[in-house]
Amino acid sequence: MSAHPRNEQSWSGSELARYEAALEAIHGAMGAYSALIAHEEAKDAPDEQVIEKASAGRRACVRRRESLDPANATDIARVRAEFSALAETVRASRR
């Protein structure tokens, strides 16, 4: 579930689409962190440092999502690229 800008009527369809895509990228990174945590916890001897680092990463995603400004097109583009890459990096760390 995504959080929409408070006054959606003031945003164009393309602005809203870019905002939603940035949110999806953040959620993808959150999901990757959650999967990493679950993967580590399922081990016979989980590494608590891996779990804590992934938990901290997930919390950082939440904070970034909350601070995302739909009116800032530059930030929206940067967040989409950054968090898409982050999700891939986190997924790759499980392999």
Q: Could you list the pLDDT tens digit for every one of the 95 residues in the chain?
A: 445 555 445 777 888 899 999 999 999 999 999 999 999 999 999 999 999 999 999 999 999 999 999 889 999 999 999 999 999 999 999 87
- Residue 44: phi, psi to the nearest 5? -60, -35
Res 1: pLDDT: 43
Res 13: pLDDT: 83
Res 10: pLDDT: 72
- Look at residues 28, 25, 40, 31 and name the one whose alpha carbon lies nearest to residue 94: 40
**Could you give the CA distance from residue 43 to residue 78 in angstroms, rounded to a whole number?**
35
